[in-house]
Amino acid sequence: MNETGKENSGQPNGLEQAITLPVKYVMSTIGAVVSIGGFIALVTTKSVRIWVKSHPYPIYLALIVAVLVMAGILDYAYHLRKRIMLPSNHDKKLYRAALERIPLNGTVVGWLKRTQMTEASIADFPADVLGALDLTIKFGQSLPVGFDDPRIAASFEALTTAIASFRQSVDSWTFVAHSRQFKGTAVSSSGTSQPLLASRAADASTEEATALTRSHHDLVRAYDRFIRTAHTRGIDIDG
């Protein structure tokens, strides 16, 4: 991870930890002492002693236990909320911008999930779909600052990597398909070495088709993983 990524992850460096850790321990100790002292002062006040004289002693003990349990529950809920990383406004805006060209349930994603690469032909790759994928890659490369949440940042990087691999596979597969058509036409006109050339063309086409199918599956999985990761981290698609 580069320096920008480290700053963007929100994790303190070694110097910050060395400074803030002792301060946190001191403040926690002071808070504990104040809380215990306040509780003792509360249960030993004159009004509480008067109330105890007119009520059974077990009720007084039950009240103390209830107060302690409630304090523990509130403290646990507070620290649990602090551990849960809420999405920043920056991440919410960046998430919407990242999906602007490939929105969930949009035409691009619909085509990717509906099309079978094993049955595709050269004319089956719409220019608007490929263009949207290319723009998504450029969008990821143009970001001066990425996602604050490291998990979302990693899943988006995996998505753009999968898109780039798929686009490269499409270009390679298209080139081989055009070459195969050209070689077939040339062989038919010349009539020489037809079995050997046809066999080589078929092998190359099969290899590129396998790579295209694999990259297509990787792209769909990476997209779904990015959506799920963003959702579990508290970012939902807006509108």
Buried b (16+ CB within 10 A) or exposed e, 23-48: eeeeeeeeeeeeeeeeeeeeeeeeee
Measured CA distances, 119 to 115, 125, 166, 215 (Å)? 8, 12, 16, 15
Domain range annotation of the chain: 3-83, 89-232
d(CA 6, CA 11) in angstroms, rounded, equals 7
What does the pLDDT average to over 108-115? 92
Q: Rg of the chain's alpha carbons, rounded to an integer?
A: 31
Whether the pTM exceeds 0.75: the reply is: no
Residue 128's Cβ-count burial label (10 Å; 0-12, 13-18, 19+) is exposed
1 vs 132, which has greater pLDDT?
132
pLDDT tens-digit series, residues 182-236: 555 444 544 544 544 444 444 456 788 889 999 999 999 999 999 999 998 888 7
Return left, alpha or beta for 192; rule: phi > 0 is left, psi -120 to 50 is alpha, else beta. beta
